[in-house]
Amino acid sequence: MDDKQRHKRVRLLVKKLNKKRKKQAQKIDILCKDFISAQRDFIKSLKAISFIANFYESLIGITDLSGLLYTAVKSIKEETADATVTFFLRQVRPVSVLAESTGPSNFELYMFESEQPVALEKQHLENCFSAEVMDNICKSNKVCTLDDMFAMGLQSSLMGLNNISG
């Protein structure tokens, strides 16, 4: 009887030990997955920081507008090949003057392929952007989605606006 009880106690202890070992293994798996996920996020952050540093470095010292825009777009296209980049450059005027006038005189539109201001057809994309919308986009300090821009006051009936961001 004594051997049976000892054997039973040993089996019970082994069972408890195995249960604790399995719980510990599960906790270790969770920690490893969290560590791998954190490392992946860190690497993404490093890639972004590296791109930003290289982008900034490539623009330092460029004094002409065409060269600056070309270099900026070239860097962006190297990072995101399927991006189409267009620059809306605001004219240097006080905000009160910008608020009073709208249209092509407020903006110059630059596209990567031409490096020159682009004359648009009947419907001018730049007419959709008021001085208030442009100021809000600049102040947001982030890439604005189309929904963000509509919330900022963008008004348009132009087709093909579904893929723009600012």
Domain boundaries, the chain: 1-60, 73-163
Residue 103: phi, psi to the nearest 5?
105, -170
Both tokens of 10, joined, read: 């040993």
Taking only the tens place, the pLDDT of each residue in 109-135 is 565 654 444 444 444 566 677 777 877
Report how far residue 100's alpha carbon sits from residue 59's, in angstroms, rounded to the nearest whole number. 33
Q: Mind giving me the DSSP string for 133-165?
A: HHHHHHHH-SPPPHHHHHHTT-----TTGGG--
- For helices 2-59 and 65-79, angle between their N-to-C axes, nearest 10 degrees: 160
**Is the pLDDT reported for residue 104 higher than 50?**
no
pLDDT of amino acid 161: 59
Using one digit for the tens of pLDDT, what is the confidence trace for 79-93? 887 777 777 776 665
Please state the rounded mean pLDDT for residues 51-66. Answer: 89
0.75 surpassed by pTM = no
